[in-house]
Amino acid sequence: MNLRELHRHLVVARRLDEEAIALQRQGVLPAYAPMKGQEAAQVGSAAALDPTRDFAFPTYRELGAAVALGVDLVGYLASHLGNWHGGLYDPMASRFAPFNAVVGGPVTHAVGWAMGARLDGTGGVALTYFGDGASSQGDVHEAMNFAGVYRLPVIFFCQHNGWAISVPSERQVAGGSVAARAEGYGITGRRIDGNDVAEVYEATREAVDRARDGGGPTVLEAMTYRLGPHSTSDDPGRYRPLAEERQRAQDDPLLRSARLIGDEEFLAEAESHAAKVVREVREGLLALGEQPGEEMFSFVYREPTRALLEQQRRWKESADAQ
């Protein structure tokens, strides 16, 4: 994939991210976790996957990865409505797992999937996202150790954006580097420029090729910066100075790729394309309407528990009474 294709994904991700924030402010979405500033890390890494056999395991902030993998974006944003299990897109078709709000949660899922890929011999590689804050979770350490022992085809992709909500990384990442921890698990670790979409793409592709060839897992630490709040309920002005945000905004990944491309006609076309995508996604999301309430009890367990059936009965009685 060339820089122009990657840039088109960057612009779609940025404009749709802005629209999602607007939708939350308008009361359409209950909550949203912005990813402004992290587009290059997400787009570059996801674009390096083979969608016919690899699988990505996101957190709740990987809109850019969803764009790069061609996920149904109406279905993706529908996840934020909280009215259905895992959103309305098909994870198997898109190779993009339902997003995970558990801190560090997708990491263990990716390692389990990678073990399955090793056993079935398809050559598939798992890519899992997590932040510098999540790197302090015990699940992440256990997953890396397990993957190292079994030489599993998995890439641990850390978006090091400098903040674990309001806690700066220097106060919770011992040693200062997530990639450096890889050596302790006997696996490859590399720190990369997370705002350079081409570097992210090449580094991830190398890690994918190594994993596919039996070289084992890789930890990629993409150094980036969260230009916005942690979530739409967060106020970053309470814990970091505005001067810092303005200074870091000069390294905006969209501005960097635009400067490298330098073709004003193409850049304008990319913005026009993004505006069209945003308009279609907004219209599609607003047209969804409410999902049937009884669906909240579907697909929770393979065999419904007695407690779940009782909850369903009480809900139906309440709904009928209204």
Instruction: Taking residues 212-230, report their average pLDDT.
Output: 95
Predicted pLDDT of residue 41 = 98
230 is catalytic: yes
Say how many CA atoms lie within 13 Å of 56 toward its Cβ: 35
Which residues, 6 or more positions from 280, have their beta carbon under 8 angstroms from its beta carbon? Answer: none
Asked whether residue 70 carries a pLDDT value surpassing 70, the answer given is: yes
Count H helices, E strands: the chain?
Answer: 12, 7
**Choosing from 7, 230, 248, 256, which is the catalytic residue?**
230
Domains of the chain are 3-291 (3.40.50.970), 292-322 (no CATH)
Task: Tell me the chain's radius of gyration from C-alpha atoms.
Answer: 20
pLDDT in tens, 227-241: 999 999 999 999 999
Of 194, 188, 152, which is closest to residue 169 (Cα–Cα)?
Answer: 194
226 is catalytic: yes
**Choosing from 15, 160, 226, 248, which is the catalytic residue?**
226
**Choosing from 85, 239, 313, 314, which is the catalytic residue?**
239
What's the token pair of residue 265?
A: 């006609």
- In which band, very low, low, confident or very high, does the pLDDT at 84 lie, cut at 50, 70 and 90? low
pTM over 0.85: yes
The SS3 of residue 167 is strand
Where does the chain have alpha helices with state H?
A: 3-25, 39-46, 63-68, 73-78, 91-94, 105-120, 138-150, 197-212, 242-249, 253-261, 264-286, 306-321
